[in-house]
Structure 1
């Protein structure tokens, strides 16, 4: 397709712990039928959430520490060391913490740190959950999420204020597609680097996008703006991986 042939991958992100810091990547290896690597592997429940690791199933994001429920967590910075399975946690005014994931004692220390950080906002016991293969996605169809940067810029221009693409917590950012063209691609295939994916549906946005990813303050009503300006609440796509392969920043992103 001529209108998408010059598009490319502008950035890649994973979110090892649901709701917390996006981590930029230079490359990712996508696998057929699997989720984006390193994404939403764990979550912190405000519990009990009802999640059963022996029979993992999709659970509403509002049972976890997510921006839609607790915008303050945007001020927590996390970094996952995949090699050692260590999570590094920090925030201004709080002591830095490093915990070995899978170690019960370390995980209790993380939960205590988050409870202290949230203060009165921690209205239920916090517990770190390991999906052990299950991914804590907002939508069970959301194996990989893709964001069209032109759409975000169009929204920014019409609002008269910059909307940070990080608000949308997508795995793949694409540059070069026409704004909002992606809304008509349900059922179509996309080539991203070596991988081929199928568009499942546009992503319906929630109040998590209202939160400034740096300050943790709710400052832009993105959901209302999308509805009023465009007549929908979509921004981005959910896709499934049909043919796996390596995806690198700068690779082509083409509608098949």
Structure 2
């Protein structure tokens, strides 16, 4: 039987995952505090009073900025304080809740990434807005939950003969107990986890972000090419639309409705 192995949220797009033992989700909001902030490029126009979903290329992200993976970050959901460590050393502690703190974060990123920020970066957020990769698809997909089947990761490892860290895929839910690639057959079907109802919505088309090793912050593979070469498609993982409110926990069983 499939069950949840790990849960994560990513408070700031492109920065560190936050491991969870349980996560509360809702139909209206998705996963709270997931991709709630992003670091907009200096050339990006984003109005927090009238937010529009933008392609991830308008923000700092691992596809282009692999150096982000060398930063160990934590954003405290209670205080709004962001801590950044580099090689184990605390290099910044600043509040996201006031202008001075946000400026300190922006200054750090500008100095750390240099010209890659395309001008002064901005830490941005907006009410009821998430900076998810599929936010450009629809408001519903902006609140979707991403899932990785660990058996699919193992199949990729076996095909390539290399170790593939699951966090390359930056999912919310990591599950195990079903065959490799079974998740790609869940489209349009109801999925229940810990009493919460979801629907398989979209396969996750992989991009160059997964070429970045989260442990070394280097590009050491071409995994989208490998997935296509060995399996005939470019997908690994799936997005689930949230149909009901509730809490999912590590160890919860995952059940999938029979295909229509």
Aligned residues: 251
Q: Please list the CA deviations of residues 38-90 of structure 1 after superposition, one character each: whole Å capped at 9, or x if unmatched.
A: 20000001123122212212101011110001111100111111111111111
Q: Distance in 2 between matches of 1:43 and 1:87?
A: 13
What's 2:30 paired with? Answer: 35
- Which residue number corresponds to residue 110 of structure 2? 115
Could you say which residue in structure 2 is the equivalent of 1:90?
Answer: 85
Quote how far apart the aligned CAs of 1:94 are: 6.7
Q: Which residue of 1 aligns with 2:138?
A: none
TM-score (norm 2): 0.93
Q: Tell me if 1:58 matches 2:59.
A: no
2:11 and 2:35 in contact (8 A); partners too? yes
Match of 2:247 in 1: 246
Q: Which residue pairs with 2:172 in the alignment? A: 171
Residue 75 in structure 1 maps to residue 76 in structure 2: no
Alpha-carbon separation, structure 1, partners of 2:193 and 2:103: 39
Matching residue of 1:3: none
For structure 2, which runs of at least 5 residues remain unmatched after alignment? 136-140
CA contact 2:4–2:249 (8 Å) conserved in 1:
yes
1:20 partnered with 2:12: no
Task: Indicate the SS of the match to 1:225.
Answer: helix
Tell me, what secondary structure is at the counterpart of 2:13? coil
CA positional deviation for 1:8: 0.4
CA contact (8 A) 2:74 2:84 kept: yes
Report the aligned-residue RMSD: 1.4
User: Which range is displaced more, 238-247 or 28-37?
Assistant: 28-37
Alignment of 1:82-231 (within 5 A): 82-92=77-87, 96-140=91-135, 141-142=141-142, 143-231=144-232
CA contact (8 A) 2:44 2:58 kept: yes
Cα distance in 1 between the residues matched to 2:102 and 2:251: 37
Contact 2:146/2:237, CA 8 A, preserved across alignment: yes
TM-score for the superposition, normalised by structure 1: 0.94
CA contact (8 A) 1:152 1:163 kept: yes
**Displacement of 1:166:** 0.2
Tell me: CA distance 1:56–1:149, structure 2 relative to 1, closer, same or farther (3 Å).
same
- 4+ residue runs of structure 1 moved beyond 4 angstroms? none
- Give deviations 1:145-172, integer Å, cap 9, x for gaps: 0110000000011100111110000000
Question: 1:63/1:94 Cα in 2 relative to 1: closer, same or farther (>3 Å)?
Answer: farther
SS at match of 1:153: helix
Q: Distance in 2 between matches of 1:131 and 1:76?
A: 24
164-173 vs 98-107, which deviates more?
98-107
Tell me the distance in 1 between the aligned counterparts of 2:108 and 2:166. 28
